[in-house]
């Protein structure tokens, strides 16, 4: 039996604009901006030769339908003539379904670990492309993987799979924390296939251009909030949390995309005060530093 481990940072999204290219999943994706976190997804893959392929997916050691990871593994198994029995166990440190990029993190970490476990000779970007395609086919994301293979405060300025996209990074101080308050998941399809998606896409393109003209954390955060407000995606309780964070001195705060959760960017000495304020709102609260390291084997 071979055991391989990988880690991917979680990656929250602050704004987006979709780019669907019919029949071309490698050029399909989204522009947008987000932050990769030191908290994320750990994947352990156990592989051994077998008479036929089989895949078991676990979450924290218990059997669970982790369908994105399974789809990734299936695609990589197609690249080898041998058959394997795979067990894929994941530990996810942030809430699922809240615009925090858990499916993308799961996809890229699984791709790296399975490829290594099976001795499939593919490049890092090829593994990332497999993860990107799996996310689209699963309906869980469009551009998350692009940021996870770079790290930092990221701007996806050209959509598509890694290798086809273009990603910029905003320079930020090392003493900043990201504080998150998660209330509930949001069904992505309701937004991405809704009647307002064209209007939302135009807002996303507009705020990206504003950030590129002044690529600072302050502009990024204010534009994320502008996107959340003008797209009408922000919830009342998230807006209340945003106002609390701003009153306490955060650089900025907005809603994660797409989820019912707030994220604030603040100096580390303000983190505990913001955490306490968010806890009183009744959500799941966590804090993380920004990860400048991409998804990787560990």
Q: Would you give the distance in Å from CA 286 to the centre of its chain?
A: 16
Query: pLDDT per residue over 153-173, tens digit each?
Result: 999 999 999 999 999 999 999
Alpha carbons 108 and 132: distance in angstroms, whole number: 8
Of the pLDDT bands very low, low, confident and very high (cuts 50, 70, 90), residue 143 is: confident
Q: Could you give the 3-state DSSP secondary structure of residue 65?
A: coil
Whole-structure pTM over 0.85, yes or no?
Answer: yes
Q: Return the CATH architecture of domain 2-167.
A: 2-Layer Sandwich (3.30)
* pLDDT at residue 188 tops 90: no
Distances (CA, A) of 217 to 154, 253, 259: 11, 11, 21
Q: State phi, psi for 215 to the nearest 5 degrees.
A: -75, 75
Per-residue pLDDT tens digits for 65-93: 999 999 999 999 999 999 999 999 999 99
| Per-residue pLDDT at 190 | 78
Topology classification of domain 171-289: Alpha-Beta Plaits (3.30.70)
Name, in order, each residue with C-beta under 8 angstroms of 135's C-beta and a sequence gap of 6 or more: 68, 103, 104, 107, 141, 142, 144, 145
Are 88 and 57 spatial neighbours (Cβ–Cβ below 8 Å)?
yes
Cα separation, 43 vs 224, in Å, equals 30
187: confidence class by pLDDT, cuts 50, 70, 90: confident
Confidence of residue 193 (pLDDT cuts 50, 70, 90): confident
What token pair was written down for 137? 């086919």
Helix (H) or strand (E) segment spanning residue 258? none
Which residue in the block uniquely carries the two structure tokens 């055991």?
Answer: 3
Which pLDDT band holds residue 189 (cuts at 50, 70, 90)?
confident
Helix (H) or strand (E) run with residue 234 in it: none
Q: For residue 29, is the peptide bond before it cis, meaning its omega torsion is within 30 degrees of 0?
A: no
Label residue 40 by pLDDT band (50, 70, 90).
very high
Q: Where are the domains of the chain?
A: 2-167, 171-289
Three-state DSSP class for residue 151? coil
What CA–CA distance (Å, rounded) separates 241 from 96?
A: 20
Average pLDDT, the chain: 96
């Amino acid at each position: 039996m071979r055991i391989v481990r990988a880690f991917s940072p979680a990656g929250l999204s602050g704004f987006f604009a979709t780019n669907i290219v019919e029949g071309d999943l490698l050029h399909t994706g989204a522009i947008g901006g987000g932050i990769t976190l030191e908290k994320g997804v750990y994947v352990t893959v156990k592989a051994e030769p077998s008479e036929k392929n089989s895949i078991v997916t676990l979450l924290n050691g218990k059997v669970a339908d982790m369908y994105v990871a399974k789809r990734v593994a299936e695609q990589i198994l197609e690249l080898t003539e041998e058959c394997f029995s795979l067990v894929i166990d994941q530990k996810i440190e942030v809430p699922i379904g809240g615009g925090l990029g858990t499916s993308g993190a799961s996809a890229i970490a699984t791709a790296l670990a399975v490829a290594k476990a099976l001795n499939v000779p593919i490049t890092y970007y090829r593994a990332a492309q497999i993860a990107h395609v799996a996310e689209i086919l699963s309906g869980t994301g469009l551009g998350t993987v692009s940021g996870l293979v770079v790290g930092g405060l990221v701007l996806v300025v050209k959509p598509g799979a890694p290798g086809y996209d273009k990603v910029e990074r905003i320079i930020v101080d090392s003493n900043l924390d990201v504080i998150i308050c998660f209330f509930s998941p949001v069904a992505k399809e309701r937004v991405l296939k809704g009647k307002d998606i064209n209007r939302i896409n135009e807002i996303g393109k507009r705020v990206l251009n504003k950030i590129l003209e002044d690529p600072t954390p302050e502009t990024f955060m204010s534009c994320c909030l502008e996107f959340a407000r003008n797209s009408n995606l922000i919830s009342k309780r998230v807006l209340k949390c945003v106002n609390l964070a701003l009153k306490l001195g955060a650089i900025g705060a907005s809603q994660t995309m797409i989820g019912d959760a707030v994220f604030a960017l603040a100096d580390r000495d303000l983190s505990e005060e913001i955490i306490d304020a968010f806890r009183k709102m009744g959500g799941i609260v966590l804090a993380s530093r920004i990860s400048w390291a991409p998804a990787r084997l560990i």
